[in-house]
Amino acid sequence: MNLEKVVFSFFMILALTLNFGFFYGDVGNPDHHNIYELFAVIVINLIATVLKFGDRSQLGAMLLATSLVAVAQLISASVVWTFAVHIQESGMTPTVMATIVSLSGGALLANIISVILLMMEAAMLRH
Partner 1 sequence: MNMVTLIILRRMRVPFLLLIGVYSITILGMVLIPGVDDQGNTWHMGFFHAFYFVSFTATTIGFGEIPYALTEAQRLWALVTVYSTVIAWFYALGKILGLIQDKAFRNAVATNKFKNDIKAMHQPFYLICGFGETGKAVVNSLTEEHYRAVVVEKDEKNLNQLNLDELKEYVPSIVGNASEPDMLELAGIRHKMCQGVIAVTASDETNLKIAISSKLLHPEIKVACRSEFKDVEDNMLSFGTDHIVNPFESFADIFSMLIHSPSLYLIYDWLTGAPNTILSEPIYLNKGPWILCGYGRFGRELYKHLKARNIPTVIIDPDKSLKEEFDEKGEDSPFILGTGTDHKTLNRAGIVTASGIIAGSDNDSNNLSIIMTALDINPNVFVIARQNKWNNHILYSSFGKQNKAPEDPITCLIMHPREIIARKIRAYFLAPLLNNFLSLARQQDNEWSNITVSRLSAIVGDSRPHVWSVRLEQSSAPTITQALTYGRSIKISHLTQDPGNRLSKLRCVPLLLIRDKKELLLPDDELELEKGDEILFCGTYDVKNNMHWTLNVMRSLNYVMSFEDEPESYVWRLFYYLRNKSERRNNR
At its nearest, how many Å lie between partner 1 and the CB of residue 126?
27
Per CB under 8 A, the list member of 61, 116, 119, 120 interacting with partner 1 is 61
- Reference 90, options 100, 82, 78, 99; nearest CA is 82
Interface residue with partner 1, options 16, 41, 51, 70 (CB under 8 A)? 51
What amino acid occupies position 117? L
Burial 104-118 (b: 16+ CB within 10 A, else e): bbbbbbbbebbbebb
91 binds partner 1 (CB under 8 A): no
Nearer to partner 1, 24 or 83 (CB): 83
Residue 33 contacts residue 97 (beta carbons within 8 Å): yes
> For partner 1, what does the binding mask look like between residues 2 and 21, x meaning CB under 8 A?
--------------------
112 binds partner 1 per the rule CB under 8 A = no
User: What are the two backbone dihedrals, phi and then psi, of residue 125, each rounded to the nearest 5 degrees?
Assistant: -70, 130
- Looking at the Cβ atoms of 82 and 119, the one nearer to partner 1 is 82
Query: What are the residue ranges of helices labelled H in the chain?
Result: 3-23, 35-51, 58-82, 94-124
Closer of 91 and 126 to partner 1 (Cβ): 91
- Per CB under 8 A, residues contacting partner 1 are 35-36, 39, 43, 46-47, 50-51, 53-54, 56, 61, 78, 81-82, 85-86
